[in-house]
């Protein structure tokens, strides 16, 4: 039996058949699918095959899922838009900001490229992108020296994919409020494992995909928009983005005001199978509680760090709970040497810039961590590059 102080992890594990077939430590890459997610997609397929709809039922589920996403982020449903993935969310955000040539946006060097490129593309409009250095701790003080009178926004990840930093976005959000800067946050690696409270963060936009902590197949993203920022308008428009959708579906050039809700940023039809999947996965997450998932992953992370210390293998990125993500750990074993060994021994992990990334999900256990350590021991650390 695999104990957790926070919830019945054995019961959770039974919902993820893949994790009994391998040691799955790669949720930061993509989630294995759970049975309730499969059932929700199958329901959609059955309805499509047997009754060709009805679309109104599907759209009703879209709205119920939107409300669940809103609950997860502590906001109202009219502040949530569905997108394709994080990249689309970040591009929508970047292009909605009222930026002019000579303005600048601050980002963190080495942050996820899907966030960086969305903003770097604004260089075409003459917007300057300034990168601050990435250190284990990034907070308001890290950004402050780079702000000048033309700084308009900060965009960054909450949790980094490549070393599991968990940055102090509350302090940065508070500084953005006092300096009147827009604040755009990519929560792709945080959501579903780390509590994300959009209002406490003070974000203007929050973007994410859903194929990691949200347990859904690729192809569905989320965008939170602070609806008090009505000046943030969409760069692209479709009928459903408008405040008034013409009944006869004939476009009216004189009635193009965007919706007062976040659907102003939505384009056309939805990824309905994935939205069904998300409805089911959010029920699972809500039932366990994100705080419990976070605490469980922190406990596993403490165990991993202790076992790595015994072996003399260094952790890349922050060690203490205050600054590290609960579920993403990069260990200083060169990926080119070690990835094949993990694969051969049935352990799924990812290669990263500075080592091997071990990333946890709600279903992982101490036994998974111990199996990883056994696989490291089995090969030994004879190579000088492997140890601290
Ligand atoms: C921080 C972060 N942002 C974004 C992405 C992915 O972007 P997208 O959802 O557009 O594929 C990832 C990983 O896949 C990530 O780690």
Counting from 1 in the atom list of ligand 1, the atom nearest the Cα of 87 is 10
Phi, psi (degrees; rounded to nearest 5) at 84 = -90, -35
Q: What's the gap in Å between 212 CA and the centre of ligand 1?
A: 9
Q: Name residue, tokens 């929508």.
A: 92
Q: What's the gap in Å between 244 CA and the centre of ligand 1?
A: 33
Counting from 1 in the atom list of ligand 1, the atom nearest the Cα of 160 is 1
- Please list, residue by residue across 234-264, b when 16 or more beta carbons sit within 10 angstroms of its beta carbon and e when fewer do: beeeeeebbeeeeeeeeeeeeeeebbebbbb
pLDDT at 264: 98
For 180, the token pair is 């009147």
Probe ligand 1: pick from 94, 108, 161, max atoms within 8 Å of CB? 161
Asked if residues 260 and 79 have their Cβ atoms less than 8 Å apart, the reply is no
Q: What's the gap in Å between 5 CA and the centre of ligand 1?
A: 30
Q: What's the gap in Å between 112 CA and the centre of ligand 1?
A: 7
pLDDT at 383: 56
Probe ligand 1: pick from 134, 189, 351, max atoms within 8 Å of CB? 189
Question: Which residue stretches of 197-324 are H helix?
Answer: 198-201, 272-288, 290-311
Counting from 1 in the atom list of ligand 1, the atom nearest the Cα of 209 is 9
pLDDT band (50, 70, 90) for residue 381? confident
Ligand 1 — pocket residues by CB below 6 A? 85-87, 112, 114-115, 157, 161, 186, 188-189, 209, 221
Q: What is the torsional sign of CA 375, 294, 282, 8?
A: positive
What Rg value do the Cα atoms of the chain yield, rounded? 22
- Closest to 227 (Cα-Cα) out of 117, 8, 79, 113: 79
Report pLDDT digits (tens) over 38-87: 999 999 999 999 999 899 999 999 999 999 999 999 999 999 999 999 99
Q: What's the gap in Å between 170 CA and the centre of ligand 1?
A: 21
- Which residue segments constitute the domains of the chain, with CATH numbers given? 9-33+289-379 (3.90.1150.10), 37-286 (3.40.640.10)
Asked if residues 81 and 265 have their Cβ atoms less than 8 Å apart, the reply is yes
Contacts of 106 (CB under 8 A, 6+ apart): 130, 131, 132, 143, 146, 147, 151, 153, 154, 155
Asked if residues 251 and 108 have their Cβ atoms less than 8 Å apart, the reply is no
Report pLDDT digits (tens) over 92-130: 999 999 999 999 999 999 999 999 999 999 999 999 999
Q: What's the gap in Å between 93 CA and the centre of ligand 1?
A: 15
Asked if residues 326 and 298 have their Cβ atoms less than 8 Å apart, the reply is yes
For 32, the token pair is 């294995």
What is the mean predicted confidence (pLDDT) over 244-256? 95
Report pLDDT digits (tens) over 155-200: 999 999 999 999 999 999 999 999 999 999 999 999 999 999 999 9
Q: What's the gap in Å between 305 CA and the centre of ligand 1?
A: 25
User: Is residue 384 scored above 80 in pLDDT?
Assistant: no
Q: Cα separation of 24 and 104, whole Å?
A: 41
Report pLDDT digits (tens) over 80-93: 999 999 999 999 99
Asked if residues 24 and 300 have their Cβ atoms less than 8 Å apart, the reply is no
């Amino acid at each position: 039996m695999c104990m957790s102080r926070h919830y019945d992890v054995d019961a959770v594990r039974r919902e993820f058949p893949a994790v009994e077939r391998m040691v799955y430590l790669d949720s930061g890459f993509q989630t294995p699918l759970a049975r309730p997610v499969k059932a929700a997609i199958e329901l959609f397929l059955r309805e499509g095959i047997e009754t060709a709809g009805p679309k109104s039922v599907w759209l009703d589920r879209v709205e119920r899922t939107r409300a669940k996403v809103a609950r997860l982020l502590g906001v109202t449903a009219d502040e949530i838009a569905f997108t394709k993935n994080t990249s689309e969310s970040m591009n929508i955000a970047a292009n909605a900001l009222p930026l002019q040539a000579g303005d600048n946006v601050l980002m963190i060097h080495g942050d996820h490229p899907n966030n960086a490129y969305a903003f770097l593309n604004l260089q075409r409009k003459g917007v300057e992108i300034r990168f601050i250095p990435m250190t284990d701790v990034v907070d308001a003080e890290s950004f402050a020296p780079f702000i000048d009178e033309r700084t308009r926004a900060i965009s960054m990840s909450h949790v980094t994919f490549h070393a599991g930093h968990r940055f102090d976005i509350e302090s940065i959000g508070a500084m953005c409020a006092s300096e009147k800067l827009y604040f755009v946050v990519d929560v792709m690696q945080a959501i579903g494992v780390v509590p994300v409270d959009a209002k406490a963060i003070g974000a203007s936009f929050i973007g994410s995909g859903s194929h990691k902590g949200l347990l859904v197949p690729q192809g569905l993203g989320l965008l939170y928009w602070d609806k008090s920022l009505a000046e943030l308008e969409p760069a692209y428009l479709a009928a459903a983005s408008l405040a008034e959708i013409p009944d006869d579906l004939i476009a009216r050039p004189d009635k193009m005001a965007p919706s007062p809700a976040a659907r102003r940023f939505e384009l056309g039809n939805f990824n309905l199978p994935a939205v069904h999947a998300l409805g089911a996965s959010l029920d699972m997450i809500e039932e366990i509680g994100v705080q419990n998932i976070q605490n469980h992953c922190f406990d596993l992370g403490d165990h991993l760090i202790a076992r790595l210390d015994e072996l003399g293998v260094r952790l890349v990125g922050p060690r203490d709970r205050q600054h590290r993500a609960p579920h993403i750990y990069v260990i200083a074993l060169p990926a080119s040497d070690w990835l094949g060994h993990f694969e051969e021994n049935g352990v799924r992990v990812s290669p990263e810039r500075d080592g091997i990334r071990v990333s946890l999900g709600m279903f992982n256990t101490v036994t998974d961590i111990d199996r990883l350590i056994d696989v490291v021991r089995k090969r030994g650390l004879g190579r000088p590059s492997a140890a601290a």
